[in-house]
Amino acid sequence: MLTALEARHAAELESFLRDFDAVPDELHGYFCGRDWPIERCVETLAAWARGEQLQEGWVPCSTWFWDSGGALQGVINVRHHLSPGLRELGGHIGYAVAPSHRRRGVATAMLAAVLEPCRRLGIERALLTCDATNVGSWKTIEACGGRLEREAPAGADRALQRWYWIDLR
């Protein structure tokens, strides 16, 4: 189930982060620094959701983890609105599943569960982007109602990306 990060998740967060050690580029920094204490992560995520402490060019965002049986298996981030940069790469929603929990439906469950919070944020159509080679991600998006808008390079010297919209109205 979706859960907001709390101080009680310190050990689970450390385990989740360790799961990415072999593939650190796949985590994409969705929530906070790896060396931050749990209290700083919790405080920062709450501030970002309120639109505070944002880095230049960032928009307010809400972050949840997928908790199953006390294990954090994935993380999902919802940007409350799109900046020009997010229209080109990133979209409203980004997510990552820990390598040891992949191919078990975690991404699909997380994405399906976060659509209602998106509606409560006033998002009528959610944009998601992914690498064209990431078949697992685009199958997840399509399983949750995503409709492919286009496939093209995202800027100069970038890999092919796919842009999907999920209608939330």
Statement: 2-167 belongs to CATH 3.40.630.30: yes
- Burial class for 31, CB neighbours closer than 10 Å (0-12, 13-18, 19+): buried
Residues 27-53 have pLDDT tens digits of 665 667 778 899 999 999 999 999 999
Evaluate if pTM is beyond 0.85.
yes
Residues 56-115 have pLDDT tens digits of 989 999 999 999 998 999 999 999 999 999 998 899 999 999 999 999 999 999 999 999
114-152 exposure pattern, b = at least 16 Cβ within 10 A, e = fewer? bbeebeebebeebbbbbebeeeebbebbeebebeeeeee
Question: For the chain, which residues make up each domain, given as ranges?
Answer: 2-167
- Distance (Å, whole) CA 130 – CA 162: 5
